[in-house]
Every structure is written in C-alpha cells, then in structure tokens.
Amino acid sequence: MTSIRAFATAATASIALLVLGACSSGGSDDDGGLGLVTGGTLTVATEGTYRPFSYHDDSGELVGYDVEVAEAVAEKLDLEIEFAETQWDAIFAGLDAGRFDTIANQVTITPEREEQYAFSAPYTVSRGAIVVTEDNADISSFEDLTGRTTAQSLTSNWRDLAEESGADIENVEGWAQSVALLRDGRVDATINDTLTYLDYVNENGESGLKIAAETDETSESAFVVTPEHEALAEEITGALDELRADGTLAELSEKYFGDDVSE
C-alpha cells in the first residue's frame, strides 16, 4: 500500500510540474515557436482613439491604417488577430507583462527604445513639415521661419524645432487650432508631422494649405515586441516585405493619407 501511495504522489507531482511548465512557457505550443499569448492568434495592442491610425468609425468598428496593416500582417502569417485597446501610457507596460504580442500604434523607432525592445521593419515613414497657406510665397525653408510666428502645442517636439529655427511661438492645443489660426492669418506657419497634414487633406479635400518645406530626417514607425520575441519581429518583417511588394501597404497608405507613407 505504501508503494502505491508513493507512486501516486510522484505521479501527481510530475503532472503538477508539467502544468507549471506549460503555464510558464510564455506562449502556446501552437504558435510555431513565436511565443504568442494565444496559439494561432496575433494579439495586438492599439489605442483605438488615434485617428487615422487606430479609431472607431461611425458604426463602432475598430479601423485605421495601423489596424488594417496589422490585419494584413496576421493574414500573411496565417494567424487570427485580436486587438487589445490600451491607453498609450500603459501600452508598453502591457507588452512587458506579456498581455499582448506586439503594438501597432505608430511606435517610432528610437535609439532609446531599441535598447529595450525589438522592432520589425518600419511600415510608416514621415517627416516634419512647415505648413503654410497656399498663397504664402515667403516661407520655403526652415531658415525663413526666423522672426515669423508659428502655432505649436506646448508639449510637441515640433515646438522645439520651431524655436531652433528662430520662430516666435503662438501656443495652441493642437492641429485643429493651428489650422484655424493659419486660415485667419494670425500666424505665419505651423510645424507638424507630414502624416497629420496628409490626413487633414485626405479628409477635407482642397484645404487652402500647403507644405512649404520638410525635414531631412525621417521618423519611422514599426511593430514592437519584447527582446525574447525577436523571432516574431522577424516574421512580421517578412510579412511586411510581402505586403510592400504586392502593393498592399501603398494601397492602405493611399486610402488613409492620399499618398504612400510606407517607405
């Protein structure tokens, strides 16, 4: 009887270890070694409030450039997709905690982030731009901003560029207010991301505005994963390469921005 109990105890302990091992593996066995949160499914964090990249349309459906790119990537990888809508302030903490596999929310590749995370190839490339009214012939470079007034929000990195260019700053809350001041002739220009301008023109048609100059440096956004899931980043890069080659990325860019912002 004692030997039977001992055998049962050992068997129970072995089963418990197997269960604990499965729980701590960091992903399902049904994920091709990618360590996905749920086997067969790409779980993607996104804000859901960041137009035109990730937002809800009039019917309540989650849509946007980043959303559709993520869906196309999942399809190329033969995976289902699940979105986890998360506030920006908590989105990296959620990735670190393993609540989702990656983030698709215009995450800019920076040296600081590259020290902590692995990135796919970029799927969005943009520049900073000086935006003026169509009839403005006086501003065609950043040097021309010296002594001019630009509308900039307090926390924007574009404000720093405007100040470095010698502009006087009119404080605004965001892009919409900048456009209003431009149209009223109360400021000479505003510096913002080219994507913001393209989205505005795409939504409003003839805007009465134009880009006077762009920065030489680009800003690149990509899918981001934790370092131990670098293989997933590589798989996503492969999917993006295919989507770039077959014209899908360009098509989605045209849909949301009226221009190809994928490279």
Task: For residues 237 and 135, give the distance between their C-alpha atoms in angstroms, rounded to a whole number.
Answer: 42
Task: For residues 90 and 103, give the distance between their C-alpha atoms in angstroms, rounded to a whole number.
Answer: 11
User: What is the identity of the amino acid at 114?
Assistant: E
Identify whether 263 is part of a domain: no
Mark whether 119 and 130 lie in a shared domain: no
Identify whether 193 is part of a domain: yes
Mark whether 78 and 137 lie in a shared domain: no
Cβ pair 22, 61 in contact under 8 A: no
Tens digit of each residue's pLDDT (9 = 90 or more) over 65-96:
999 999 999 999 999 999 999 999 999 999 99
Identify whether 79 is part of a domain: yes
Identify whether 9 is part of a domain: no
Mark whether 73 and 146 lie in a shared domain: no
Identify whether 133 is part of a domain: yes
Task: For residues 132 and 140, give the distance between their C-alpha atoms in angstroms, rounded to a whole number.
Answer: 9
Mark whether 202 and 235 lie in a shared domain: no
pTM (two decimals): 0.80
Domain count, the chain: 2
CATH number assigned to the domain comprising residue 202: 3.40.190.10
Mark whether 131 and 119 lie in a shared domain: no
Going from the C-alpha of 38 to that of each of 30, 42, 113, the distances in angstroms are 8, 7, 25
Least confident stretch, 8-12, 121-125, 194-198: 8-12
**In terms of residue numbers, what domain contains 182?**
126-218
Mark whether 207 and 230 lie in a shared domain: no
Mark whether 48 and 112 lie in a shared domain: yes
Q: Return the H-helix or E-strand segment holding 15.
A: helix 2-23
Mark whether 48 and 155 lie in a shared domain: no
Write down the mean pLDDT value for the chain: 89
Tens digit of each residue's pLDDT (9 = 90 or more) over 206-230:
789 999 999 999 999 999 999 999 9
Does residue 188 register a pLDDT over 70?
A: yes
